[in-house]
Amino acid sequence: MSSSSPQDDLSPRKLKLSDIADLRAYERTRDDFRAEIITLKKRRRIGVGLFVTLLFENRETILFQVQEMARAENILSDEGITTELNVYNPLIPLPSTLSATLFLELTSEEQLREWLPKLVGIQRSLLLRFAGHEVRCVVDEDHEAQLTRDDVTASVHYIRFEFSPEQVAAWSTGPVELVVDHPDYLEVTALSEATVAELATDLAD
């Protein structure tokens, strides 16, 4: 693939065309890369209650997503890969930011019918609580316009948490809780020390 692209002007954390392996090269490394990502996601995936799971994304998880999309859809052109980068690059967090994919793990038709209407607004109902601070999530505007309706929510949302310098400094000083304060889904879970340390790498400059 060409290494010259408008993508090259992005933040160093963002993916460029030159970061995406062609399909034959990817097949040679896929098994090892997939194993690495599975291990990484274990530190970055947090369940809250019965149905809500957050996966905190970073450059590696999004690189894997783009490579897998290219593989599944047999995307061979620079134009096609650029389209995928434009979709997924916004999910890579900039410094002082955490970015997450919110999944509603509803596995039956009955659960979908009951909970998707009840959980309208869930994408605005998450916050991180730590060291006397609370950081409420912000919804990705482009995806919200596509995924959200007034009467039923989607099973997947893209959110981020934006930190002040003081909050970044306080992140690793004590326990961290992930809170969901939706009126129909009130849940709290504590982040492990491994997850707190992992996410500190996203917040760093």
Q: Is the pLDDT of residue 8 over 50?
A: no
**Using only C-alpha atoms, what is the Rg of the chain?**
18
Chain segment 82-96, per-residue pLDDT in tens: 999 999 999 999 999
Distance CA 153, CA 110 (A): 15
Which pLDDT value is given to residue 141? 74
Chain segment 129-181, per-residue pLDDT in tens: 999 999 999 997 776 666 666 789 999 999 999 999 999 999 999 899 999 99
Chain segment 14-73, per-residue pLDDT in tens: 999 999 999 999 999 999 999 999 999 999 999 999 999 999 999 999 999 999 999 999
End-to-end CA distance of the chain: 30
Distances (CA, A) of 107 to 115, 125, 190: 11, 22, 25
Contact 139, 126 (CB under 8 A): no
Got the DSSP string for 74-136?
A: T--SHHHHHHHHHHHGGGSPPTTEEEEEEEE---SHHHHHHHHHHTTTGGG-EEEEETTEEEE
pTM for this prediction = 0.89
Chain segment 80-137, per-residue pLDDT in tens: 999 999 999 999 999 999 999 999 999 999 999 999 999 999 999 999 999 999 999 9
Contact 16, 5 (CB under 8 A): yes
